[in-house]
């Protein structure tokens, strides 16, 4: 988390919403639809990117569509002798680890991981806990995605704050 906070106005929110709906849209088309100058759109985009509000324009890949149909969340407890950075380095080497977050409460790190099957999930978990800095793992398998990752409602809300 953590770059500097960006105050979003209605134009920023509309710009981000359009980019979320059509990631391949050009700046000229955005300016036409938003009814503002091309330079204004470019300046807003540059500001939002520089301040970390927009993190990228890459494709959003659906893991299940490329053969990774098992989604799970794993809470890791790490040894006090090892820091979060060392464990994060280990996790970053495992392609099936999509995210990892330092957390409070039960456990030290929460990971979102994918696998091709339950047997493959066991392989991934074994690879994760094979690192000596990890003491224990608790795994929860997701049965269905009720609300997919989204930010547009948040952007709209932030622009009204």
**Is 154 within the bounds of a domain?**
no
**CATH label of the domain that carries residue 16:** 1.10.10.10
How many whole angstroms separate alpha carbon 114 and alpha carbon 123?
11
What confidence score (pLDDT) does residue 5 get? 82
Residue 3 has pLDDT above 80, yes or no: no
How many whole angstroms separate alpha carbon 96 and alpha carbon 107?
20
- Do 105 and 121 belong together in one domain? yes
What is the per-residue pLDDT across 13-39, written as a single tens digit (0 to 9) for each? 999 999 999 999 999 999 999 999 999
pTM, rounded to two decimals: 0.85
How many whole angstroms separate alpha carbon 70 and alpha carbon 119?
10
Domain count, the chain: 2
Please give the structure tokens belonging to residue 139. 């795994």
Under the banding of pLDDT at 50, 70 and 90, the label for residue 80 is confident
Q: What are phi and psi of 89, to 5 degrees?
A: -60, -40
Residue 4 has pLDDT above 80, yes or no: no
The answer to whether the CB of 97 falls within 8 A of the CB of 91 is yes
Specify burial of residue 151 (Cβ count, 10 A radius: 0-12, 13-18, 19+): middle
Q: Which of 103, 128, 134 is nearest to 113 (CA)?
A: 128
What is the per-residue pLDDT across 102-135, written as a single tens digit (0 to 9) for each? 999 999 999 999 999 999 999 999 999 999 999 9
Domain residues for 30? 10-59
- Do 74 and 49 belong together in one domain? no
């Amino acid at each position: 988390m953590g770059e500097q906070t960006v105050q979003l106005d209605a134009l920023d929110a509309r710009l981000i919403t359009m980019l979320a709906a059509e990631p391949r849209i050009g700046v000229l088309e955005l300016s036409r639809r938003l009814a503002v100058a091309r330079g204004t759109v470019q300046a807003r985009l540059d500001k939002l990117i520089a301040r970390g509000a927009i993190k990228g324009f890459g494709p959003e890949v659906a893991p299940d569509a490329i053969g990774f149909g098992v989604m799970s969340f794993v809470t890791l407890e790490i040894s006090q002798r090892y820091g979060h950075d060392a464990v994060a380095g280990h996790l970053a080497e495992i392609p099936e680890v999509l995210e990892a977050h330092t957390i409070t409460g039960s456990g030290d790190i929460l990971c979102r991981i994918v696998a091709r099957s339950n047997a493959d999930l066991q392989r991934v978990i074994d690879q994760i806990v094979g690192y000596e800095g990890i003491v224990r793992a608790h795994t929860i398998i997701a049965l269905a995605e009720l609300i997919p990752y989204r930010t547009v409602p948040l952007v709209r809300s932030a622009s009204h704050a």
